[in-house]
Amino acid sequence: MGCDPMKIITLLTDFGTQDGYAGTMKGVILGINPHVTIIDISHEIPKWDIKAAAFVLHSAYRYFPSGTIHVIVVDPGVGSEREILAVQTKDYLFLAPDNELLSLIFEHERDCMVYRMTHREKYLADLSQTFHGRDIFAPVAAYLSKNVPLSEIGEPYQDAVCGLIPKPKMDLNKVAGEIVYQDGFGNLISNISKYDLAESGISENAVISIKGKTIHGLRTSYSSLSAGELLALISSAGFLEIACNKCSAADILQAGAGTKVVIRTS
């Protein structure tokens, strides 16, 4: 069985860093494949926030080398009847619970091969009901990094759950959406993409409405206004973002995931 010494496994969880959960997963992986490189995307996803995890994954996964294995454990249904999925795309492999976490992957990747985990011999022997990150995700990821085929860890699956991130409502000269993610700076990132704006004919001179506030124009940098002023721009991930120079837009607006936002021509 071959082993690629340059194989990368990423971890994206809501475990935080206070406890040893993320580190334990790394220990299991390295015990099976000591040659793998493990990279943390984040362990600070808000607890049980599947939508935030889906957005962070979508923003990050394409910037890793082809062949990377992305492991995502934001799993409020751990121990239940929910499936655990392995999804192979052209360039990447994803391991995640079947709880809509991979909705944006299914939306943007073509020709996904989807398997559900069924081969318990690839799990840890003493399987718990509350820590599948350690007992299932970590060992399965490690075996896959050693080029074990998907057919040896599961079986094809056709019923994966998707559709988590709502679509913005689009009209000519207007797009209505909502905030789907708040980052660590308090920036509010919406589900309205730059492509939605182009399709609706909205330019940088747009007017943005959120929580009773009006923001005029799309900026190109956070420093384009004075400190403390609200602004709107296209985020690095390609979505409409509400921000504030040197402070938290979320705190100023008392807004977060689910807050409605509308952008229209001026």
Residue 1's pLDDT band, with cuts at 50, 70 and 90, is: very low
Interval 33-69: pLDDT, tens: 999 999 999 999 999 999 999 999 999 999 999 999 9
First to last CA, the chain: 61
Interval 184-229: pLDDT, tens: 999 999 999 999 999 999 988 999 999 999 999 999 999 998 899 9
What is the SS3 assignment for 144? helix
pLDDT at 3 exceeding the cut of 80: no
pLDDT given for residue 142 in this prediction: 97
Interval 156-195: pLDDT, tens: 999 887 777 789 999 889 999 999 999 999 999 999 999 9
pLDDT given for residue 13 in this prediction: 98
pLDDT given for residue 110 in this prediction: 84
pLDDT given for residue 235 in this prediction: 94
pLDDT given for residue 139 in this prediction: 97
SS3 content of the chain, % helix, strand, coil (to 5): 25, 30, 45
Residue ranges and CATH numbers for the domains of the chain are 8-156 (3.40.50.10790), 169-264 (2.40.30.90)
pLDDT given for residue 166 in this prediction: 84
Nearest CA-CA partner of 179 in 92, 96, 79, 254: 254
Q: CA 94 to CA 134: how far, in whole Å?
A: 16
pLDDT given for residue 64 in this prediction: 97
pTM of the model: 0.89
pLDDT at 103 exceeding the cut of 60: yes
Q: Who's near 11: CB < 8 A, 6+ residues apart?
A: 22, 25, 26, 38, 39, 40, 41, 43, 71, 73
What residues are paired with 164 via a beta bridge? Answer: none
pLDDT at 2 exceeding the cut of 90: no
Interval 114-154: pLDDT, tens: 999 999 999 999 999 999 999 999 999 999 999 999 999 99
207-210 and 213-216 strand pairing? antiparallel
